[in-house]
Amino acid sequence: MTSRLVVVGHGPAAHRLVEALRERDSAGRWRITVVGEEPRTAYDRVALTSYLTDGADLGYPPHDESVTVRTGERVTAIDRAAGVVRTDAGATLPYDALVLATGSVPFVPPVPGAENAFVYRTIDDLDALRAAVATSGDLTMSRRAAGVVVGGGLLGLEAARALQGLGLDTHVVEVAPWLMPRQLDEGGGAMLRRHIEALGMTVHTGVGLDRVEPGAVRLAGDVVIDAGVVVFSAGIRPRDDLARAAGLPVGERGGVVVDDACRTEDPRVFAIGECALVGGMVYGLVGPCFTMAEVVADRLLGGEARFTGADLSTQLKLMGVDVASFGDPSADALDVIYTDPVAGIYKRLVVSDDAQTLLGGVLVGDASSYPTLRAYVGAKLPGTPEQALFGGTEAAGGALPGATVICSCNNVTAGTIRAAIAEDGLTDVPAVKACTRAGTGCGSCVPLVKKILDAELTAAGVEVSKALCEHFDHSRAELFDIVRVRGITTFSQLIAEHGHGRGCDICKPVVASILASLGNGHILDGEQAGLQDTNDRFLANMQKNGTYSVVPRIPGGEITPEKLIVIGEVAREFGLYTKITGGQRIDLFGARVEQLPEIWKRLIDAGFESGHAYGKALRTVKSCVGSTWCRYGVQDSVALAIRLELRYRGLRAPHKIKSAVSGCARECAEAQSKDFGVIATERGWNLYVAGNGGMRPRHADLFAQDLDEDTLVRYIDRFLMFYIRTADRLQRTASWLENLEGGLDYLREVIVEDRLGICAELDAAMERHVAGYSDEWRAILEDPEKLRRFVSFVNAPGMPDPSIVFEPERDQIKPAMVEVTR
């Protein structure tokens, strides 16, 4: 006998329920009717911004013909006694089981003028917002139109990205002391704020909304923001009105009360998704909502599935910034914290008191280790917390216990993935996704899915794909050769001829680096400008308060008094903080973005050039004073350091490159901790390769001994070019050599013995680089179009950013610690 199921609402949870039931119900026990009030069928609400900015099609695959879907129709009442629902179209639909999947509505703060604001929840909301933005310029007269988003959570930041994509100067207002307060701790929120402000947005935290006025928003404390468009994204409220009217219990703060079977007190009525209150909690993430749908599908067919809570871990890319939270970041236990303000990275692990068990964590700026770390939550770490923090557990993907949940959106375990690979002969990630649903939700688990797949295929003797990302089936090294051999000069040409889709935040910077390594013009020419990472966009290193540091090149650390005086004059004139770096250069901190061209003009006129401190390129060649001054020196280390730095300056690579030259075995320049280092001997020079300092130091390996200078330079040329040609994305020379099959001996065979027959190509490539070098900052100053980028506000080019404040310390400046009062 066929039973009748009515599903009220057709959002993501409802769509998953119907699909899960159709997959399991091979006997056709249920006839399904779905009633959705939107004029369209279910779509991906997580990707709303891509609809607004790119016009993406967000629709989910349609149900088969056995499912009746009624769009543009709203259920107005539930008659539980009669077992029917009634709609605003006059229909009466009988049911044997009823599932409420009515979702939620945006919370709009009860402030004056709120009725004139927009919300960010449905496609219709976005269409209305787009229309308003098109006319918002009329409200701001000669100024560029501005928009305000009230709410600094996940959806609020997505809304802010959308407004900026539509051309508005964008402000984010969050009442909590930091952004994303439900997912991030204070340190993570502060780092995220720096990233967002670096994109040109203005962030206001720890301040409430007072009222919305025509053309303006007034915050607490009489702060006024001129804005033609206001968007509320300050949380959600469950849509439980139908359940209330039908006499079903609801929570004190909303939500249809259900048990662990997602069943209300009426055994025929279920609730799933954002309208359901299960275990005293309403879940706003897609993963738990999908799990509820799976539970109900199982129950409708006589199963015993239970909803026992959900993994609230999440990984996102907000405005190009990796953000992740997993486990319980607020647990009262030990913290392991790493902060890199220059790179914009914040990592925090929470571990048990014995530092053995991972409890939770927060990642901002670099979330590459998120999939593995999330899988280890509640389990014993395979190494130290420090190793886990910096990817030391990544290789353990194939060894994760079978019960480890890999995809929390769809509750797919490592064991399920391994079984599918073995039983169905799966050989690529799309096949694994189609078979198991792993990675089809938020997508954050895809890297770990691939690691498990690679481990299983390797164990079975199957060749593993080295695809860079989903848009390119080639590795970085293969893409390098494609670009080099075919003479490709743009990302759009490369992806059109050898890739798929529009690209992503993985492949775009990689291709930008490849094009720059091959001398494809200035990095800010044409479409290349849009491919660059944050620092390269302004050819300077961003600092914690939104200012930039300026690092002129000082080859070998040698500088004349006249040039020292110029640096001092520039620092004094522009009020910059000055510091001598560990790489024998002088760093000038605190430059506002609009000051950069003027500062560099002064420096270039005095004979300086860019030190490339911002780029994945050669940074410095450090040196001691050598035989010229030192009584222990046996060779002229300064002259060699200058020759090497001038030869390799501007050389773009997969990662930064550092070097040093020591004039004797006392090693004052610390050459053995560099990507390539040189130490003088009585008979010539010893060359060391693939070392690095930093968080995980590696001692460089001795490559060759007692070399004459020309042979030394030739070997370094080949070493660098071979590294650039074959390394993976963001791979330092140290890890590159560690992963190079054959290791140091193979590297010698390639570079010295020409085993691959490519030494002539490597030599020629370096000669082209040397001959084609030009200073990037000089090119900026000579191009009025490029100079237009260097402003704090595009609608007021000469206006400095008023949020940048300094205070004195030791006769210099430092970023002021501004406290926000509420």
- Predicted pLDDT of residue 528: 79
Find the mean pLDDT for residues 338-364: 86
Say if residue 663's pLDDT is above 90: yes
CATH 3.30.230.10 fits 538-772, yes or no: no
Quick one: which of 728, 723, 731, 613 has its CA closest to 676?
723
Residues in the chain, overall count: 822
- Predicted pLDDT of residue 136: 60
Residue predicted with more confidence, 559 or 57: 559
Domains 311-394 and 538-772 share a fold: no
- Predicted pLDDT of residue 391: 59
The whole-angstrom separation of Cα 650 and Cα 620 is 11
Q: Which residues pair with 335 in a beta bridge?
A: 350
Percent of the chain at pLDDT > 70 equals 93
In terms of C-beta density within 10 A (0-12 exposed, 13-18 middle, 19 or more buried), how is residue 218 classed?
middle
The whole-angstrom separation of Cα 514 and Cα 329 is 38
pLDDT in tens, 268-312: 999 999 999 999 999 888 888 999 999 999 999 999 999 987 777
- Predicted pLDDT of residue 696: 66
Q: How confident is the model at residue 538 (pLDDT cuts 50, 70, 90)?
A: confident
* 3-state helix/strand/coil string of 139-196: HCCCCCCEEEEECCCHHHHHHHHHHHHCCCEEEEEECCCCCCCCCCCHHHHHHHHHHH
In degrees rounded to 5, what are phi and psi of residue 361? 175, 170
The pLDDT mean for the chain works out to: 87
Q: How confident is the model at residue 398 (pLDDT cuts 50, 70, 90)?
A: very low
795 Cβ partners below 8 Å, 6+ apart?
143, 144, 169
Q: What angle do CA 75, 77, 79 make, to 5 degrees?
A: 125
Say if residue 494's pLDDT is above 80: yes
pLDDT in tens, 624-634: 999 998 988 99
Lowest pLDDT segment from 139-148, 341-350, 627-636: 139-148
Query: What would be the CATH architecture of the domain defined by 114-234?
Result: 3-Layer(bba) Sandwich (3.50)
The whole-angstrom separation of Cα 430 and Cα 470 is 9
Angle between helices 154-165 and 123-135 (to 10 degrees): 40
Q: Which CATH class is domain 3-106+237-300?
A: alpha beta
- Predicted pLDDT of residue 319: 67
Q: Which residues pair with 813 in a beta bridge?
A: 808
pLDDT in tens, 53-99: 666 678 888 898 889 999 999 999 999 999 999 999 999 999 999 99
Using CA atoms, how far residue 712 sits from 704, 752, 755, in Å, is: 9, 11, 19
393 Cβ partners below 8 Å, 6+ apart?
369, 372, 373, 376, 381, 382, 383, 387
Q: Which residues pair with 327 in a beta bridge?
A: 360
732 Cβ partners below 8 Å, 6+ apart?
655, 656, 675, 692
- Predicted pLDDT of residue 395: 38
Find the mean pLDDT for residues 653-672: 93
Percent of the chain at pLDDT > 90 equals 44
Q: How confident is the model at residue 336 (pLDDT cuts 50, 70, 90)?
A: confident
pLDDT in tens, 755-807: 999 999 999 999 999 999 999 999 999 998 888 888 776 555 667 777 788 88
- Predicted pLDDT of residue 444: 62
Q: What is the DSSP string of 23-60?
A: HH-TT--EEEEEEESSSS--B-GGGHHHHHHH----BP
- Predicted pLDDT of residue 620: 93
- Predicted pLDDT of residue 303: 92
Lowest pLDDT segment from 83-87, 481-485, 683-687, 814-818: 814-818
Say if residue 545's pLDDT is above 90: no
The whole-angstrom separation of Cα 294 and Cα 272 is 10
Q: Are 247 and 255 in contact (CB under 8 A)?
A: no
Which of 324-328, 644-648, 812-816 reaches the highest mean pLDDT?
Answer: 644-648
pLDDT in tens, 40-59: 999 988 777 777 766 667 88
Q: HSE-up of 319 (CA within 13 Å, CB side)? A: 25
Where in the chain are the domains? 3-106+237-300, 114-234, 311-394, 400-465, 476-532, 538-772
- Predicted pLDDT of residue 610: 92
Say if residue 493's pLDDT is above 70: yes
Say if residue 143's pLDDT is above 70: no
Task: Tell which CATH classification among 2.40.50.100, 3.20.20.70, 3.40.50.300, 1.10.10.1100 matches the domain 400-465.
Answer: 1.10.10.1100
Lowest pLDDT segment from 356-365, 395-404, 580-589: 395-404
3-state secondary structure of 550: strand
Alpha-carbon Rg for the chain, nearest whole angstrom, is 30
CATH 3.30.390.30 fits 311-394, yes or no: yes
Find the mean pLDDT for residues 358-378: 83
Q: What is the DSSP string of 230-273?
A: EEE-S-EEE--HHHHHTT--B-TTS-EEE-TTSB-SSTTEEE-G
